[in-house]
Amino acid sequence: MQTMTLLDKIKKRDASIGIIGLGYVGLPLVIQFVKAGFKTTGFDIDEDKIKHLNQGKTYIKHIPDKEVKILKTQSFKATTNFSLLKDVDCIIICVPTPLGKHNEPDLSFVLNTTNTVAKYFRKGQLIVLESTTYPGTTDVDMREILEATGLKAGQDFNLAFSPEREDPNNKDYSTSTIPKIVGGYTNNCLKNAIALYSTIVKNTVPVSSTRVAEAAKLLENIYRAVNIAMVNEMKILFDKMDIDIFEVIDAAKTKPFGFQAFYPGPGLGGHCIPIDPFYLTWKAREYDFHTRFIELAGEINTSMPYYVVEKIIGALNAKKKTLPSSKILVLGLAYKKDIDDTRESPSLKIIELLSERGASVDFNDPYIPKTKKMRKYDLRKNSVPLTEKNLKKYDCVVIATDHSCYNFELILKYSALVVDTRNAMKGLKNNGKLVKA
């Protein structure tokens, strides 16, 4: 009897799937593969996540319990036992790729995970990396670790890269409707990876190599970072010229060609845009190339929290108050509206800067009841209830995240001073208490 190939197993939905990392990228993938009828195992070192999933409960705001309850089936289990990797046919790695202290790539999560996979993987498996990284990570760094076992990529096992494109709480696009770029180490690796992702996404986009796939993800995010940096710089200039940058953008975007609207803010947040460009900047040094454009955009975007703090200081001074004697409430800890994700949020830097300068700072975020210890921050604060009484206690309220649930009219009414970094107060009458930043 002929042995069934991995490609046949995928097409028949007989292949088993293992997903390492059950965060904002891994969990949506788990849900899609279970929906598609695959036996799926989720791996994570976080025991709380494992407990939640095995109980059918969510831990990510924009992924509701009803979606996670789908996982309460015999075809899914979540575990911290990585030895079970030997029992799955396809392994998808979705672990963090942060920056180090000096903005250098930190591939420790990817490489440590690859070492774990190498410890348990077997002939015939497909290993796919989804974590954003510089070109060469998959076909050099990962491949060398996996091939140290004696198995050869493209012959004994399949190796591919398919960048995650998650956009938390995007109402228009989801995991299944966002086109999926896939690059394989060999043509056969690509064929198996395309077959796998075609079972859960509507459109797969094959490219010639893992390096092209890695580079494509970096280009997507660098494109956004550079354009956001441009409007951030113009925001500061137009503020000095007493011109509303948001009105300028609204006017410019009426042009039906040659212009795409990007919007300024208090800084960049999320796991991708503030981080990914520096992966390419670091890798470029290996080729004796200086990515001046990317680094300039990074400098501008990382300076925005400092600009916001200066605007707060100026607004307080105009009210005859100093920062060290002021109580400040920051609205929104998440990096963008209507989510509970604080990764690289500019709100964190703003709070840190205000506190260092002597202000008493609290925050409110309806989706984040208290802060958690992070790589760069350990604020140890609880969200303050947003009430009329509480608003009146503060010398300044800073809108850092424009959550849809906020009643901005009431916030302006009961606050002594509001510094708006998101144009959230657009259309409201300025009674001398509103400052745009």
Q: Is the pLDDT of residue 361 over 90?
A: yes
How much is the pLDDT for 273? Answer: 83
How much is the pLDDT for 2? Answer: 53
320 Ramachandran zone, left/alpha/beta (phi>0; psi -120 to 50): left
**pLDDT tens column, 308-321:** 999 999 999 999 99
Q: Is the pLDDT of residue 233 over 60?
A: yes
Nearest by Cα to 279 from 141, 136, 134: 134
pTM, 2 dp: 0.93
6-208 and 245-436, same CATH topology: yes
How much is the pLDDT for 1? Answer: 45
**pLDDT tens column, 136-150:** 999 999 999 999 999
Contacts of 170 (CB under 8 A, 6+ apart): none
How much is the pLDDT for 430? Answer: 84
In whole angstroms, give the CA distance from residue 266 to residue 247: 18
CATH hierarchy code of domain 245-436: 3.40.50.720
User: For the chain, percent helix, then strand, then coil, each to nearest 5?
Assistant: 40, 15, 45
The domain locations on the chain are 6-208, 245-436
Token pair 């849809």: residue: 404
pLDDT confidence tier of residue 36, bands split at 50, 70 and 90 = very high
Token pair 């510094």: residue: 419
Token pair 């796919």: residue: 128
- 405 annotated active-site: no
- Is residue 180 a contact partner of residue 197, using CB atoms and an 8 Å limit? yes
In whole angstroms, give the CA distance from residue 77 to residue 42: 6
In whole angstroms, give the CA distance from residue 157 to residue 414: 63
Nearest by Cα to 91 from 71, 50, 119, 69: 119
Q: Is the pLDDT of residue 112 over 90?
A: yes
* Tokens of residue 6, six digits: 């991995």
Q: Is the pLDDT of residue 9 over 90?
A: yes
Q: Is the pLDDT of residue 323 over 80?
A: yes
Architecture of the domain made up of 6-208:
3-Layer(aba) Sandwich (3.40)
What is the residue-averaged pLDDT of the chain?
94
How much is the pLDDT for 72? Answer: 87
Q: Which of 189, 272, 396, 405 is catalytic?
A: 272
Residue 22, SS3 per DSSP: coil
- Is residue 36 a contact partner of residue 14, using CB atoms and an 8 Å limit? no
149-156: which pairs have CB atoms within 8 A and are 24 or more residues apart?
149/118, 149/121, 151/121, 151/123, 153/185, 153/186, 153/189, 154/185, 154/186, 154/188, 154/189, 156/123, 156/124
Nearest by Cα to 405 from 376, 368, 379: 368
Q: Is the pLDDT of residue 170 over 90?
A: no
Top pLDDT among 69 and 376 is at 69
In whole angstroms, give the CA distance from residue 344 to residue 333: 10
Token pair 């108050």: residue: 321
In whole angstroms, give the CA distance from residue 230 to residue 235: 9
pLDDT confidence tier of residue 241, bands split at 50, 70 and 90 = very high
- One-letter amino acid identity for 57? K
Helices (H), 78-186: 108-120, 143-147
In whole angstroms, give the CA distance from residue 251 to residue 317: 33
How much is the pLDDT for 62? Answer: 87
How much is the pLDDT for 366? Answer: 96
φ, ψ for residue 366, nearest 5 deg: -60, -20
